[in-house]
Chains A and B, each alone.
Chain A
């Protein structure tokens, strides 16, 4: 027995390599799938390539080209509008629905929650394909619904009109993600101290004042998380417009072109992995800067 204890005590000293052995699989995985691609992408960004065996060093030319390409700015503008819409339209609706469900005593609460959340269970590709049919002029469900409700819109070409395509994307994303964000807000609302709300109400605070001064500050960490995740998700938008346009470009006038779509076009349609890698780095930088900005603006690092 004592010999065993002695052995165990001496274990780590006798096998200093052991912890590294246990870490080795992850380290290997991270090295192969994260570190190497990251370094390689950095190298690629300064080259033009044609397959893995041909690369020509072009210095900053890839970056210069991207910043001078009107398509990049179109993609940036589309993505930014989509991101702003996600935050300014989607999140308030999510919060509103969460508050409704949180305050409701209905026995159907669970069913509503599932109903609103369920679109998120469907993959973006499937949603894209489905909405390509729903938005069809004359026969599509959406146009028929509009026509039946307001007597307008039967022939609207949502996917063929450059002015309507981005709104169509925003409508789809509302359908998909409102429920997803609602779940976060609901979790936040359920953790709000009810005693504080009751106290405020006794003191004569209106519903709006209660929401603004009690509820909102208490769900702030969750709200910040949701805003940042929505922003990052918006800047990574790709599958939805890609599937919506059936993989044949990004719509009329590139109205559905996103930054990741632009990256895809360069990497997989033009076959220039160098320029695609440069776009990837630019995208990473944009997301980093926006996230830091949001954290600063919302005082997320402030200690209460």
Chain B
């Protein structure tokens, strides 16, 4: 023994373990490479697993290939993707990204973006045609005039409410056409601590973004320039402050939070109305089945002038959330990946069945005519005036039709590498104004604006300073988005 290995038995055993484990590890790695499927698709939404699995099976059969689906938790997906792209190992071929996540990958030179530029492919296959596809959805996935993902959805927002409560309180939802109508009614029925008109989150940007994009503004403009220090944005913040500030007479909103607390607020009637994009309708069905047949949908009130006319540049609805399918540059078979991406997201025949599982309206306009999207829900209703009797009645509604009626009026939401910073800076203005208003509940609009406007300018400049600090964007002209043209908002809304 000593002649073979002079350092003793224990080190010899350790050496043997090291050699054996090294061989096993190498063998496993080699085996992995051999068995790698043609494409790996990584997604985070659990609700997508079932429909995608079915589509993948079908695609594999039709194309004699092997595509594998991997479901990864949201935060893990992003951190794994970031690490994988930086190190170049185990990068999936296709990734279903979530709203806001593209910014991380587009902060550097365009050639460094880890995703395939789909702009030419989209153009070639007719997806840049506004009669075929909702164009504003590209804003989520664009940088400096290049599109890096195929949009999965539209996510226009409606308002959801409980039919029994609305009837009990005698609220005529057909008269809530504008936000002014809505706020007026809200102030009538709000009882602090017991009942509020609407759920508005005040510790994140969700509600503010829905309202801001509906008003026709955003954190960044189509060129990726900071755009939230405009007078209209200041006015919107002042409006939001009035609705959400505790201990004030103007307050009509209460943040219901999420999870169990949210459903408790809904079931106990603490909040009456809830921002509800299409995806959220499926969530309510799953998580709160006791409200089956008692929830109704209505289009969001519009931003209007004193005569009730929609404000120029504003939209019918706001937007919340979004997914998009990106092909990574590490993908070996990009043609197959693009073919599969189109199959998964745009094959009209499959979209109807998928809609029934997810309630998510596809951006492909042809799908809006599918029978699955037109069939009536047995969960959601809508309230309307009976044309014959004039009475306010309710009946089950087609979720697909309800959201399709709003979809063309869905605003763009531009995402850049600095979206998160911009959100933080905007929220800072809101909190400051809210504190001011809580201490000065008699403050006029002019007082609030005098507080908000300079801070908004300073905070917007903070974001500009951050962008200027980025040597990569500085060198490439800092033009972030230019593809998604704003679609002129639809002027009419579907009758409730």
* A and B associate in one complex: yes
Tell me the A residues contacting B by CB distance below 8 Å: 11, 15, 18, 21-22, 48, 50-54, 56, 58, 61, 65, 70-71, 133, 136-140, 154-155, 157, 159-160, 162-163, 245, 247-249, 251-254, 265, 268-272
Q: Which residues of A contact B417 (CB under 8 A)?
A: 270-271
Judging by beta carbons under 8 Å apart, are A253 and B431 in contact? yes
Judging by beta carbons under 8 Å apart, are B420 and A70 in contact? no
B458 CB to nearest A CB, Å: 9
Q: Which residues of A contact B109 (CB under 8 A)?
A: 50, 54
Specify the chain B residue showing the minimal Cβ separation from A257.
B424
**New A-B pairs, 15, CB < 8 Å, besides A139-B257, A160-B202:** A21-B7, A52-B86, A54-B472, A71-B462, A137-B257, A139-B261, A140-B261, A154-B193, A157-B203, A252-B427, A253-B428, A254-B424, A270-B418, A271-B107, A271-B417
* Chain B 474-492 near chain A by CB (<8 Å), digits 1 or 0: 0000000000000000000
Q: Which residues of B contact A140 (CB under 8 A)?
A: 261
Q: Which residues of B contact A51 (CB under 8 A)?
A: 85-86, 108, 112, 114
Partner of B261, one of A15, A136, A160: A136
Interface check B387, CB cutoff 8 A? no
Judging by beta carbons under 8 Å apart, are B108 and A50 in contact? yes
Partner of B270, one of A15, A138, A160: A138
Q: Which residues of A contact B130 (CB under 8 A)?
A: none
Interface check B358, CB cutoff 8 A? no
Bound: A268/B109 CA distance, A: 17
Judging by beta carbons under 8 Å apart, are B420 and A249 in contact? yes
Judging by beta carbons under 8 Å apart, are A252 and B203 in contact? yes
Interface check B75, CB cutoff 8 A? yes
- Known contacts A157-B202, A253-B431; A48 and B470 CB within 8 A of each other: yes
Tell me the B residues contacting A by CB distance below 8 Å: 6-7, 11, 75, 79, 82, 85-87, 104-105, 107-109, 112, 114, 192-193, 202-204, 246, 254-255, 257, 259-261, 264-265, 270, 417-418, 420-421, 423-424, 427-428, 431-432, 435, 462, 469-472
Partner of A253, one of B193, B246, B427: B427
Judging by beta carbons under 8 Å apart, are B6 and A15 in contact? yes
Judging by beta carbons under 8 Å apart, are B264 and A139 in contact? yes
Judging by beta carbons under 8 Å apart, are A162 and B435 in contact? yes
Q: Which residues of A contact B427 (CB under 8 A)?
A: 252-253
Q: Which residues of A contact B265 (CB under 8 A)?
A: 138-139
> Which of A21, A154, A252 has the most B CB atoms < 10 Å from its CB?
A252
Partner of A56, one of B86, B114, B471: B471
Specify the chain B residue showing the minimal Cβ separation from A267.
B82
Judging by beta carbons under 8 Å apart, are A157 and B255 in contact? yes
- Known contacts A52-B86, A253-B428; A136 and B257 CB within 8 A of each other: yes
Between-chain CB contacts (< 8 Å), 23 pairs: A11-B6, A18-B7, A48-B472, A50-B107, A50-B112, A51-B86, A53-B112, A56-B472, A71-B424, A137-B257, A138-B261, A139-B257, A139-B261, A139-B265, A155-B193, A245-B203, A249-B423, A252-B203, A254-B428, A268-B79, A268-B82, A270-B418, A271-B107
Judging by beta carbons under 8 Å apart, are A249 and B264 in contact? no
Judging by beta carbons under 8 Å apart, are B203 and A253 in contact? no
Specify the chain B residue showing the minimal Cβ separation from A269.
B420
Judging by beta carbons under 8 Å apart, are B107 and A133 in contact? no
Bound: A64/B48 CA distance, A: 46
Q: Which residues of B contact A11 (CB under 8 A)?
A: 6
B248 CB to nearest A CB, Å: 12
Bound: A50/B103 CA distance, A: 12
Partner of A269, one of B11, B104, B114, B435: B104
Bound: A254/B424 CA distance, A: 7
- Known contacts A133-B259, A139-B261, A157-B246; A50 and B420 CB within 8 A of each other: no
Judging by beta carbons under 8 Å apart, are B112 and A54 in contact? yes
- Known contacts A70-B462, A157-B203, A271-B417; A50 and B255 CB within 8 A of each other: no
A253 CB to nearest B CB, Å: 4
Q: Which residues of A contact B270 (CB under 8 A)?
A: 138
Bound: A53/B418 CA distance, A: 22
Q: Which residues of B contact A136 (CB under 8 A)?
A: 257, 261
A147 CB to nearest B CB, Å: 10
Judging by beta carbons under 8 Å apart, are B255 and A160 in contact? yes
A96 CB to nearest B CB, Å: 34
Bound: A61/B472 CA distance, A: 14
B471 CB to nearest A CB, Å: 5
Q: Which residues of A contact B87 (CB under 8 A)?
A: 52
Q: Which residues of A contact B259 (CB under 8 A)?
A: 133
Judging by beta carbons under 8 Å apart, are B435 and A133 in contact? no
Q: Which residues of A contact B469 (CB under 8 A)?
A: 61, 65
Q: Which residues of A contact B257 (CB under 8 A)?
A: 136-137, 139
Bound: A160/B244 CA distance, A: 11
B73 CB to nearest A CB, Å: 11
Bound: A140/B254 CA distance, A: 14
Q: Which residues of A contact B7 (CB under 8 A)?
A: 15, 18, 21
Q: Which residues of A contact B104 (CB under 8 A)?
A: 268-271
Q: Which residues of B contact A22 (CB under 8 A)?
A: 11
Judging by beta carbons under 8 Å apart, are A58 and B471 in contact? yes
Partner of B203, one of A70, A154, A251: A251
Specify the chain A residue showing the minimal Cβ separation from B472.
A50
Partner of A155, one of B82, B246, B462: B246
Specify the chain B residue showing the minimal Cβ separation from A7.
B2
A59 CB to nearest B CB, Å: 11
Specify the chain A residue showing the minimal Cβ separation from B203.
A160
Specify the chain B residue showing the minimal Cβ separation from A162.
B431
